Amino acid sequence: MADSSFDVLVIGSGASGLAAAVSAQRAGARVAVATKGALQSCNSAKAQGGIQAAFGEDDSPEQHAEDVWKSSHETADRELVEILTSEAPSAIHWLEELGVEFTRENGGYRVARCGGASRKRLLQVGDRTGHAITTALREAVEGSDIHTFPKSPLAELARTENGWRARCGDHTIDATTVVLAAGGRCYRVAEERGELSTNHPGATGEVTQMAVDLGAELRDFDALQYHPNGGAWPPNMQGYSIPETTRAYGAVLLNAEGEEFTDSLGPRDAVSQAIFEQVEQGKGVETPDGRPAVYLDTTRIPEDDANVSLPYMLRRYRAGGIDPLEERILTYPVLHYQNGGLVIDTDAQTTLEGLYACGEIAGGTHGRNRMMGNSLLECCVFGRRAGKAAARA
């Protein structure tokens, strides 16, 4: 017998899970959120760079979609991409209604150009955008009648006559529909490979496996993404992702000889690959603890830009005894993001009826290579869609 029953059960409390829960509740459903750790522990909160949306006069959702398509090497699902980019502006306004205050200047948003983008369209909240978004969403959940089950990892999911039965920690929960928003698996994979990862220790991927065991289809699952700029030194920065906005504001990648060897604003996979190749060719530098790295010349960033858009990064490095505006920093790619995942349709429904997926656990929106600034966007756009569709169903 289940302890409790709901219309919609959301698994995961990152940006996509919280967005789905808020949307389902506002559509009139009785909603529960079950999550592995505390409600605030998730990868989304660690996302620094920003969120993409086409607001510029020279920009459009079509242009944004074209950039996504190109960055994915034409492997993304066109239909999902078009939804992502066309609903981006309304997702931003929705977040603002929930209390997110994006950094503004000259009467509009302060926007930066990110890797793979042909226009400036990255909105930011300093360099803690993910933290601001998840905080606002979490406050919306906590201020509503959504039921939360923290420290209740999903252990079992089975079909019932009227939907699904989930065992989450000590709870057995019945729900008509289930939204999987449990994130990716890069923390576990990095551990297996003996590498660093930017991910939260909860990113281990077992929920994806449960869905596959139930018969859900996957796509591009082998395509894991390296963040080109992991912190390599000092030790307190290892596994930290240096915001890509450093490069948007003028930082460039240099090899041991001080030569630029790649387009610092290229797509993530291309930039990561270029760094790996420099090191293989013996043109890298070594960190004091013997790890491979190259230079990121952050001394080229104007101080005003750094203070407005990179305050958290500056604080972290200075605490470790390095001032990025005075000296180059050491960087090397770190395992960051699961590009592929469960196949979804435009309502974020998986190939199994009544089972939805959004955020990093879902595949298709980014194809085999994701652009920065599109993960938080995907969480909001497809989290909202998943929540509404799950509530309707």
Q: Which two tokens stand for residue 215?
A: 């018969």
268 among known catalytic residues = yes
Helix axis angle, 61-71 relative to 88-97, nearest 10°?
110
Q: Which of 30, 119, 268, 384 is catalytic?
A: 268
Strand order in the sheet with 111-112: 51-52, 122-123, 111-112
CB 316 within 8 A of CB 237: yes
* Residue 138 three-state SS: helix
d(CA 78, CA 367): 9
DSSP 3-state percent helix, strand, coil across the chain (nearest 5): 35, 25, 40
Query: Which stretches of the chain are DSSP H helices?
Result: 15-26, 61-71, 78-86, 88-97, 129-142, 186-193, 206-213, 245-248, 268-280, 303-309, 311-319, 375-392
d(CA 68, CA 62): 10
Q: Which two tokens stand for residue 158?
A: 């089975």
Strand order in the sheet with 362-363: 218-219, 341-343, 362-363
- Active site residue ranges: 268
